[in-house]
Structure 1
Amino acid sequence: MTNQLALPLGATPVPGGTRFAVRSTAERVELCLFDGADERRLAMTRDGDVWTTTAPGTNHLYGYRAHGEYDPGRNLWFDPAKLLVDPYALELDRPFIQSPRLAAYGEDTADIVPRARVVTPLTDTPAPPLFRPGGLIYELNVRGFTMRHPAIPPEQRGTLAALAHPAVLDHLRKLGVAAVELMPITAAIDERHLPPLGLRNAWGYNPVVPMALCPERVPGGVAELASTVAVLRQAGIGVILDLVFNHMGESDIHGGTLSFRGLDPDAYARTTDGTLINDAGTGNTLDASRPGVRAMILDSLRHFARAGVDGFRFDLAPVLARGPGFDARAPIFAEIAADPILSTRIMIAEPWDIGPGGYQLGNFPEHWLEWNDKYRDQVRRFWRGDGRAGDLATRIAGSADIFSSTASRSVNFVAAHDGFTLADLAAYAQRHNHANGEDNRDGHGDEVSWNHGQEGAIDDPAIRAARTRSVRAMLATLFLSRGTPMLTAGDEFGRSQNGNNNGYAQDNETTWLDWEARDAALEDFVAQLSAFRRDMPLDWTDWLAKAEWRNLSGGPMTPEDWDSGNGFALHLPIGDEKLILRFDHRHGVSAIRGRLLES
């Protein structure tokens, strides 16, 4: 039998035409070629679980139809009425749309399912990453970041190409951004409950196939991605893609048949009785214990690396290492480390999911960075007033209790896309997610947040000043901590979502940054913090051995000092000088080395 994993899957231009190859456990698979609404079907030849055929020409829009038994109770979903998107598709001709027809057996979906477009796969060896741990990561949603930017032409707003606009580059350079971390730009589908509510998924964490770019966010396809990355690199800014390999948008047993389910349903993890496993909280979980699934993940990473990106952030990353329980020695880690391209890229884990043993902070490979929610929560608690100095010091020191390597692997953040904005942390004690249509039950119910005075917007100068002090203290802590800082776009100038801490369904002005109403003073403060960190002759991932901790009076820290919520002073030698960082709950943060940064 032919080595199935060695076959190039997807659509590959060859002399005289295009070779199509797809993995499927169906009884029969047809290639469907489209010319407008006209569809031509070609029989495919089976070799193991890989089906192939070659068609003349290269300018094709295509999909697949799979024939076989239909019995969802036994995880069999073969329905030739369903047009299926190639799992290896690189570009699509239209966005995905949600429809009950996607889940109805026997109803043809060719008119509503995107067709894949044949493009020449990228083959160049990528340049080394620009980004290095310790530099500022700037998390952004392409659409929300650009939709209301006054300098960006209206026709370009909401697209990846807008990030190459000079006004955007100027803003990123002002902040000292080392890499933008793009929330998903691959094609995604709305969850079933959103269209009836008049809502759309604004975040993109519900993909259908892993490599196809969103036709709305990246209308120029792979070429737009590569060109935008190149412009950002010329400005000294790397690109990290946030990717979803834990589930796909076909959802649970009631979801639509769009790709994997109709071709290779074993790509989804199941219990022994055939029930879909739901470790991602979305109705299904990709089974990375299967060699074919891992090969697809690695092929996806190589594809994006060849487009020039520096690295990847993995959503709900423990799923990558499930088989079924999390295994720190899972094959995928060794496969990435051994790959000549992927071993050079930056890998960042979101180290938790809702599956058994799903919280795995600190357990990813030594060369991976990890989002650190302990940092997030304990920094918030200290500045809220109910935290311990010892806990804050541990997080500022790179969470050495979690990451034992010399250079901290911690990605430090105080706010991210999935929670309160930084400004809302100090303005709302409770979530206000009623606009999401789930009776305010969705999103984090126990975030570490607080409100100075009445919740929400308020005109009282004293309350506004108290909120500003809290926000500035958290920002200063972030930029003066060991590890890699991450800032979410708009938090540098006071963005608010009016207390909505789960804005995934708000593709509107709730999540679109208001560039006209930015807090210029706060923005300048963040730029100053970033410049201070960047210009300081200090390894921000590896200063722990040099640290000296003192109480706020200058004496050695006592057990009582560590247990208190007052704060401390951190002394760090820099050549013949000393950098003194003071974290004082009453007065904020200051840094002394010939000049003072007040928070």
Structure 2
Amino acid sequence: MSRELPPAPGMTLVPGGAEFAVYAAHATGVTLSLDDGHRERRVELEGPLHGWWCADLPGVGPGTRYTLHADGPVDPGRSLRYDARTPLLDPYARALDFGGSAVVIDPTFDWGGDVPPRHPWSSSVLYEGHVRGLTMLHPGIPSHLRGTYAGLGHPALIEHLHRIGVTTLELLPVHAFVSEPALLQRGLINYWGYNSLGFFAPHGRYAAAADPQGVVDEFKAMVRALHAGGIEVILDVVYNHTAEQGIDGPTLSWRGLDAAAYYRIDAFGRDVDMSGCGNTFDLCHPVACQLVLDSLRYWVGEMHVDGFRFDLAVALGRDKNGDYDPDHPFLVALRTDPLLSTTKLVAEPWDIGFGGWRTGQFPPPFSEWNDRFRDDVRTFWLSDVASVLGGGPGHGSRMLATRLAGSQDLFGHGHRAPTASINFVTAHDGFTAADLTAYDEKHNEANGEGNRDGASHNRSWNHTVEGPTDDEAVNAARRRSIRNLLGTLLISSGVPMLCAGDEFGRTQYGNNNAYCQDNEISWLDWRWEPWQAELVDQVAALTRLRREHAVLRQRRFLTGDPVYEGGPADVSWRSPEGAPLGAQEWEDPATRSFSMLLGSANAAETDILLIVNGQTHPVQMTLPDIPGRQRYRLMWDSAAEEADLSREDERGFGDQVKAAPCSLQVWASVG
């Protein structure tokens, strides 16, 4: 072998052809099968060179299809099961055809001066959505573009994102994936996409284009269009496991090339499963770690995405002993890489392994999905209200107040800030906001698992009727609860994330695990009833308040100290009578009404008063004094069906205002 070092991994175009390299350190031979549409040929790769098998490939260019075949030992105790008859995918494939082959693409694209929006975390509003689900039923998008990357880049969707104040679109997985055999046997498919087949190739079924090159170009055009509209693109990426599942699953790529390098394997050659999906990708191995980092750099450098949400991120930070390490080499690489460290990095801070719950334990600059925010907000506005109405106890207000203030209990260490908390009340996994108010129990029968799948403890409340009802009093109460959930989300310190469709009260008919429902259960229905259109206006009003008032976008944790000499404290908490709340009140489960005054750090800006009434009856709330101010103006009230902010409801200091049962109000200082 004339080489001293292998070429870059995967297929790299060079003048007159291509270079190729694949890692398979335990193989005894690797063959590349090529098909350029005119002839097929097989090339025996040279190797292993530092574990890599390589070749120069004159004449190979865009459009060439290829697969790999690896030969080697069969030793289950070392997780080696080579079979030269099995076609394997290149782990670095940039595109896949519908037959399962990798395809060489032309990487050039006219980006037209594309510039990433780069919204600061403190000004960001995330919107989690699915490529197909967002637009499959959208009447403003041409039918042939619905459910595609092109559909996401259509002006009709961008206009809606602008209307509701979204800055950042977080997409469920777009890496090429396949459906699990067990799903196919039930006549279903994997809809969410958490079953990766390749870390570089965009999923072909999400494109209007019919050819692999067109799929890649369409994805790039989507990003370009969203950027032109000021919308960032974050990808939900699944590097913790792959579609190969356990040893009884299909051999598609990594397992057939070098399972011992790519997967966590125990002393008996069995997969260590920390994902719940049969295998765990081993980022302790340099080659596996390099593969994931190269994938991330590709999506930023070549596809222009703005960041990533890492599925089951704890699994990516486990050391050789299986313990989570915030200074794991992979996490250090993300924090120090000149390209990746400038993007938005979001961790899902748990996996199913031992000690897998790690919310608040990722290093900066990571932000994290805050499941405690989800649980505490649901508890206060839903399950506790149901308990109180039934004569039982609640949990009081302390935890809700902690979430409103930015979750300092979780993130107030290690040079972190409120923006480390990605606040959410719903996500793709679980009930929608509307279903949280309409169902006490999950209804997942359509998934074919006997309703055993999905979470059973949802902190939901059906408002006394399970499912849809014609009872207007029940429906009105449900609508107020939705407004309470979304209002709390959008005025809390931290970074809010809306689940697509919650802004107009979409339902999944009680299914809280719609991972296999590529149909009307999961697709957003854009035909709105009047109350749904009004809810959209409510969400737009709340994001506008967030944009216009800096105290709702805290960059630092609140201290209770004056923001300037003679000015108000950055935060103060009051009882309904206007007295400061003490420790005894905070610990009292009966405390369910309070106000939170956020003092502006600039005398020229506005202070904000939040009034929270979690009682099931009206409460008179006293408006506290603000040094240097004169009065308050009501900006938003969850008890109001309409989001009209033009009303001039102004009150003076010391005035009492009525907070409706189970309601949230936002007041701004005037003068």
Do Structure 1 and Structure 2 share a fold, with TM-score over 0.5?
yes
Task: Tell whether 2:580 aligns with 1:556.
Answer: yes
Using CA pairs below 8 Å that are at least 6 residues apart, which structure has the higher relative contact order?
1
Task: Tell whether 2:633 aligns with 1:594.
Answer: yes
In structure 1, the residue corresponding to 2:607 is in which secondary structure?
A: strand
Relative to structure 1, is the Cα distance of residues 371 and 3 closer, same or farther in structure 2, using a 3 angstrom cutoff?
Answer: farther
Unaligned segments of structure 2, at least 5 residues: 385-393, 560-569, 624-630, 639-671
Relative to structure 1, is the Cα distance of residues 127 and 169 closer, same or farther in structure 2, using a 3 angstrom cutoff?
Answer: closer
Query: Which position in structure 2 is the counterpart of 1:388?
Result: 396
Unaligned segments of structure 1, at least 5 residues: 95-111
Task: Tell whether 2:425 aligns with 1:425.
Answer: no
Query: Which position in structure 1 is the counterpart of 2:257?
Result: 263
Deviations 1:436-470, CA, capped at 9 Å, x for gaps = 01111111121111111211111100000111111
Contact 1:188 1:205 in 2 (8 A): yes
Cα distance in 1, alignment partners of residues 244 and 445 from structure 2 = 26
- One-letter identity of the residue aligned with 2:509: N
- One-letter identity of the residue aligned with 1:368: F
Where do residues 19-58 of structure 1 align in structure 2 (5 Å cutoff)? 19-25=19-25, 26-35=27-36, 39-46=40-47, 47-55=49-57, 56-58=59-61
Relative to structure 1, is the Cα distance of residues 340 and 122 closer, same or farther in structure 2, using a 3 angstrom cutoff?
Answer: farther
1:71, distance to aligned residue in structure 2 (A):
4.2
Query: Which position in structure 2 is the counterpart of 1:537?
Result: 550
Among 393, 414, 417, which residue is 1:407 paired with? 417
Using the size of structure 2 for normalisation, the TM-score is 0.83
Deviations 1:173-194, CA, capped at 9 Å, x for gaps = 0011110001101111111211
Cα distance in 1, alignment partners of residues 366 and 502 from structure 2 = 26
Task: Tell whether 2:156 aligns with 1:173.
Answer: no
Where do residues 440-479 of structure 1 align in structure 2 (5 Å cutoff)? 440-479=451-490
Query: Which position in structure 1 is the counterpart of 2:242?
Result: 248
1:226, distance to aligned residue in structure 2 (A):
2.1
1:363, distance to aligned residue in structure 2 (A):
1.0
- One-letter identity of the residue aligned with 1:535: E
- Which 10-residue stretch deviates more, 568-577 or 206-215? 568-577
Cα distance in 1, alignment partners of residues 23 and 269 from structure 2 = 21
Task: Tell whether 2:189 aligns with 1:227.
Answer: no
1:11, distance to aligned residue in structure 2 (A):
0.6
Matched-pair identity in %:
43
Relative to structure 1, is the Cα distance of residues 593 and 579 closer, same or farther in structure 2, using a 3 angstrom cutoff?
Answer: farther
In structure 2, the residue corresponding to 1:216 is in which secondary structure?
A: helix
1:80, distance to aligned residue in structure 2 (A):
1.6
- One-letter identity of the residue aligned with 1:86: D
RMSD over equivalenced CA pairs, Å? 2.3
In structure 2, the residue corresponding to 1:292 is in which secondary structure?
A: helix
Cα distance in 2, alignment partners of residues 158 and 280 from structure 1 = 28
Cα distance in 2, alignment partners of residues 66 and 123 from structure 1 = 37
Query: Which position in structure 2 is the counterpart of 1:101?
Result: none
Task: Tell whether 2:310 aligns with 1:321.
Answer: no
1:357, distance to aligned residue in structure 2 (A):
1.4
Cα distance in 1, alignment partners of residues 92 and 108 from structure 2 = 11
Whichever of the two has the greater Rg, that structure is 2
- One-letter identity of the residue aligned with 1:402: L
Contact 1:130 1:233 in 2 (8 A): no
Cα distance in 2, alignment partners of residues 249 and 179 from structure 1 = 28
1:551, distance to aligned residue in structure 2 (A):
1.6
1:115, distance to aligned residue in structure 2 (A):
3.1
In structure 2, the residue corresponding to 1:66 is in which secondary structure?
A: strand
Relative to structure 1, is the Cα distance of residues 302 and 242 closer, same or farther in structure 2, using a 3 angstrom cutoff?
Answer: same
Query: Which position in structure 2 is the counterpart of 1:483?
Result: 494
Relative to structure 1, is the Cα distance of residues 378 and 510 closer, same or farther in structure 2, using a 3 angstrom cutoff?
Answer: same
Query: Which position in structure 2 is the counterpart of 1:104?
Result: none
- One-letter identity of the residue aligned with 2:198: V
Cα distance in 1, alignment partners of residues 618 and 231 from structure 2 = 31
- One-letter identity of the residue aligned with 1:594: R
Among 74, 80, 84, which residue is 1:76 paired with? 80
Query: Which position in structure 2 is the counterpart of 1:496?
Result: 507
- One-letter identity of the residue aligned with 1:344: T
Cα distance in 1, alignment partners of residues 476 and 291 from structure 2 = 51
In structure 1, the residue corresponding to 2:585 is in which secondary structure?
A: helix
- One-letter identity of the residue aligned with 2:592: N
1:540, distance to aligned residue in structure 2 (A):
3.0
1:284, distance to aligned residue in structure 2 (A):
0.2
Query: Which position in structure 2 is the counterpart of 1:116?
Result: 103
Query: Which position in structure 2 is the counterpart of 1:198?
Result: 187
1:494, distance to aligned residue in structure 2 (A):
0.6
Cα distance in 2, alignment partners of residues 14 and 117 from structure 1 = 12
In structure 1, the residue corresponding to 2:440 is in which secondary structure?
A: coil
Query: Which position in structure 2 is the counterpart of 1:362?
Result: 360
Contact 1:72 1:253 in 2 (8 A): no
Relative to structure 1, is the Cα distance of residues 339 and 129 closer, same or farther in structure 2, using a 3 angstrom cutoff?
Answer: farther
Relative to structure 1, is the Cα distance of residues 427 and 560 closer, same or farther in structure 2, using a 3 angstrom cutoff?
Answer: farther
- Which 10-residue stretch deviates more, 179-188 or 216-225? 216-225
Q: How many residues align?
A: 581
Relative to structure 1, is the Cα distance of residues 113 and 235 closer, same or farther in structure 2, using a 3 angstrom cutoff?
Answer: closer
Relative to structure 1, is the Cα distance of residues 580 and 62 closer, same or farther in structure 2, using a 3 angstrom cutoff?
Answer: same
- One-letter identity of the residue aligned with 1:455: E
